[in-house]
């Protein structure tokens, strides 16, 4: 378990610090973020979802909130690019 103490830091610092630690983390590793900024709730939730990690617990404690994130096996695959629009090569233009 890795602890990220972001208490007293304002948005977007808690999620930025989480991202830096997560970049060095191993799959399955648990990261606990302690934060006092209410915006961290939405930021960490959205970041976890977009990165494919699992936010397993949000725990309101006396002076802060603890967010428990489990790191995924790897980055989410990129979506397939959209097929290019067919060209209009058959028209003579005039």
Active-site residue, selected from the candidate residues 2, 7, 9, 11? 11
Q: Which run of H or E residues covers position 33?
A: strand 30-35
**Alpha-carbon gap, residue 55 to 47, rounded angstroms:** 9
Pairing of strands 65-70, 54-60: antiparallel
Reply yes or no on whether 52 is catalytic: no
Catalytic residue list: 11
């Amino acid at each position: 378990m890795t602890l990220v103490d972001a208490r007293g830091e304002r948005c977007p610092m808690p999620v930025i610090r989480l991202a830096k630690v997560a970049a060095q983390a191993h799959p399955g590793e648990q990261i606990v973020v302690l934060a006092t900024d209410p915006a961290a709730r939405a930021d960490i939730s959205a970041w976890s979802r977009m990165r494919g990690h699992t936010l397993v617990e949000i725990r309101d404690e006396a002076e802060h909130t603890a967010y428990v994130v489990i790191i995924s096996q790897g980055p989410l695959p990129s979506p397939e690019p959209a097929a290019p629009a067919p060209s209009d090569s058959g028209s003579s233009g005039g």
